[in-house]
Structure 1
Amino acid sequence: MNIETIWAQYQTSLKAFLHKNINNPDDVDDLLQEILIKTYRSLNTVKDVTKIKPWLFQIAQRSIIDFYRVQNKNLPPENEELWHEQPNQHLYDQLAECVLPFINALDEDDKQLLNAIEIEGVSQKDYAEQHGIKYSTLKSRVKKSRNTLHAAFKQCCDFEMDTKGNLMDYHKKYKECKPQ
């Protein structure tokens, strides 16, 4: 497939998509031109011709995000999720190594509860049934245990969160962090 055929087939729908997300027609035309250039430069990377349409619209979506970033405007609400597509897995992996020692340093009830629910993946309802505890009582205990664990972590590290509560970064307060 060549660029002329692809552009003839998808230009109209791409332009309509851009108009839904950008108010100024001149900006839409500029973005459409950018998309054409990006398509021309990268068309050889598409191995499966049946994936051309989603690939083009992905380029368009990213171009819209870049446009708003450059314009220093807020993204439309339906695109807001794209800013946080993937959590920072590296941070989670690093902190995962710390979780067990901190859980194991808690009192026996909290330790048993969090190991079962957070580490072993037992549902709260199942745990409540297995231990003869009211579900609402267990939910309160889980929240209390999580808060205790969080407080232990906060003694060791400072956490940076985004506006949605996702972990962005952390910094150890001491060279050697150990549960107390």
Structure 2
Amino acid sequence: MTLEEIWQQYRARLKSFLHSKVSNPADVDDLLQEISIKTFTKLDALDDPTKVQAWLFQIAQHTIVDFYRAKSRSKKVHPDDLWYLEDEKKVLQDFEGCVEPFLSALPLNSVRMLRQIDFEGQSQKDYASKHNISYSTLKSRLKRARSELKAVFENCCHLTLDAQGNISDYRVKSDHCKNC
């Protein structure tokens, strides 16, 4: 896929996304230009052309965050412009109350493993040794347990993840989700 094809297909959506995050239209145009430059310079790094949309919006999200960070360093930022920091805190706070009920939907062995490794910070090697299982078996079980927990979350909400796999946004699927 060429830059021209990508830009023709996604430019309007990117601009709309930028308008939802940045109030000044001139800044939106500047950010759109910056995103196009990043897209051009990093296009060869895109391994899977079927994931171009996610890749573009990840570039856009990082560009917006960089924009606000740079603005905050210049001390000319209004507190309302730091939306991305508040959004991160709010998303995490919203989900804190869901963790316990969602964990209870998992098998007890998965819950113990997730608690000790992900919540209490025990190393995977120590956990494997303590429970007399091989490290590679533990990694497989941990991956499955994390996937099970993610599935429970996704049964209630559409999740948006950042590049590191952290929840950056969510949308509740229905009012019938009773897990949290």
Cα offset for 1:158?
A: 1.1
Look up the equivalent residue of 2:120 and give its one-letter code: E
Deviations 1:4-44 (CA, angstroms, capped at 9, x unpaired): xxxxxxxxxxxxxxxxxxxxxxxxxxxxxxxxxxxxxxxxx
Q: Distance in 2 between the 1:148 and 1:134 partners?
A: 21
| Residue aligning to 1:22 | none
Report if the CA contact (8 A) 2:31-2:63 is conserved: no
Aligned to 1:101: 101
Q: Offset at 1:71? A: 3.3
Q: Aligned partner of 1:172: which letter? A: V
**For 1:131 and 1:158, how far apart are their aligned partners in 2?**
35
Identity over aligned residues, as a percent?
Answer: 36
Cα distance in 1 for partners of 2:138, 2:158 equals: 29
Partner of residue 35, structure 1: none
**Alpha-carbon distance, 1:145 to partner:** 0.4
What is the deviation of 1:149? 0.8
Q: Which runs of 5+ in 1 are unaligned?
A: 1-64
What TM-score do you get using the length of structure 1 for normalisation? 0.52
1:148 maps to a residue whose letter is E
The whole-number CA distance in structure 1 between the counterparts of 2:164 and 2:132 is 35
Cα distance in 1 for partners of 2:165, 2:177 equals 23
Alpha-carbon spacing, 1:97–1:125, altered in 2? closer, same or farther (3 Å): same
Equivalent in the alignment of 2:178: 178
CA distance in 1, matches of 2:35, 2:171: 31
Instruction: Please list the CA deviations of residues 47-81 of structure 1 after superposition, one character each: whole Å capped at 9, or x if unmatched.
Output: xxxxxxxxxxxxxxxxxx87841636435579x65
Partners of 2:35 and 2:63 within 8 A in 1:
no
Q: Which has the higher contact order (CA 8 A, sep 6+)?
A: 2
For the pair shown, the structure with the greater C-alpha radius of gyration is 1
Q: Equivalent residue for 1:88?
A: 88
- Residue identity in the other structure for 1:71: Q
